[in-house]
Amino acid sequence: MLVRWWRTRSKSPDLDPLEFDLLFERFLNPERVSMPDFDVDFCMEKRDQVIEHVADMYGRDAVSQIITFGTMAAKAVIRDVGRVLGHPYGFVDRISKLVPPDPGMTLAKAFEAEPQLPEIYEADEEVKALIDMARKLEGVTRNAGKHAGGVVIAPTKITDFAPLYCDEAGPSPGHTVR
């Protein structure tokens, strides 16, 4: 995905979508507040070369990959807290398997969906302590990464538009937008 920041920030971009065979509805949607982006899929095998070319073409200060944030989801936070507290794998696994694998599942939703969770929570002090701590950490950012293909191209330096975060590998081929 390439996101292009246009030099004009009006509601109608200075671009003819027909000329470039772009998805027309993205440009005519009156409900859209921000400028549309372009989704261009490149094979993973050569993606780094494409990003490198874009950085060379527009300038390294104007091109950045996009940061992603991983958060502690219900199942994972139970496993992480259990490991930190030193509980045996089987104990933690038994609790985490009670959390339904549905997308967007939270501990609160899991307690409603799985009757065994409130039961073991009330019956076992160690389970209660683990889940109480997990509830405090659920949703907290766990790690930062780079979007697989997301790139921002700005008309001037990226820092004119967004803060930056450089990972330990350094700023290549652009920077990582935070």
pLDDT digits 0-9 by tens, 67-81: 899 999 999 999 999
CATH code of the domain in which 105 resides: 1.10.10.1600
Q: Same structural domain for residues 77 and 106?
A: yes
Examine residue 95 and state whether it is found in any structural domain, yes or no.
Answer: yes
Q: Are 12 and 30 in contact (CB under 8 A)?
A: no
For residue 10, give Cα distances in angstroms to 37, 102, 127, 152, 159: 14, 40, 55, 18, 21
Cα 4 off chain centre by? 19
Q: Same structural domain for residues 26 and 60?
A: yes
Q: Same structural domain for residues 63 and 79?
A: no
Q: Same structural domain for residues 48 and 80?
A: no
Q: What's the number of domains the chain is made of?
A: 2
Examine residue 160 and state whether it is found in any structural domain, yes or no.
Answer: yes
Q: Same structural domain for residues 109 and 84?
A: yes
Cα–Cα distance, 36 to 23 (Å, whole number):
10
Examine residue 19 and state whether it is found in any structural domain, yes or no.
Answer: yes
What's the pLDDT tens digit per position in 29-70?
Answer: 677 777 666 666 677 788 888 888 888 998 989 988 888 999
What's the pLDDT tens digit per position in 87-101?
Answer: 999 999 999 999 999
Q: Same structural domain for residues 121 and 78?
A: yes
Cα–Cα distance, 124 to 89 (Å, whole number):
17
Q: Same structural domain for residues 127 and 159?
A: no
Q: Same structural domain for residues 64 and 78?
A: no
Domain that holds residue 64: 2-68+147-177
Examine residue 142 and state whether it is found in any structural domain, yes or no.
Answer: no
SS (HEC) of the chain: CEEECCCCCCCCCCCCCCCCCCCCHHHHCCCCCCCCCECCCCCHHHHHHHHHHHHHHHCHHHEEEEEEEEECCHHHHHHHHHHHCCCCHHHHHHHHCCCCCCCCCCHHHHHHHCCHHHHHHHHCHHHHHHHHHHHHHCCCEEEEEEEEEEEEECCCCHHHCCCEECCCCCCCCCEEEC
pLDDT category at 4 given cuts 50, 70, 90 is: very low
* pLDDT value of position 70: 92
Does the pTM surpass 0.85? The reply is no
What's the pLDDT tens digit per position in 135-158?
Answer: 999 999 999 888 877 888 888 999
Q: Are 10 and 1 in contact (CB under 8 A)?
A: no
* pLDDT value of position 171: 57
For 107-112, the CB contacts below 8 A with 24+ separation are 107/74, 107/77, 107/78, 107/131, 107/134, 107/135, 107/138, 109/74, 110/74
* pLDDT value of position 6: 39
Examine residue 26 and state whether it is found in any structural domain, yes or no.
Answer: yes
Q: Same structural domain for residues 80 and 130?
A: yes
* pLDDT value of position 48: 85
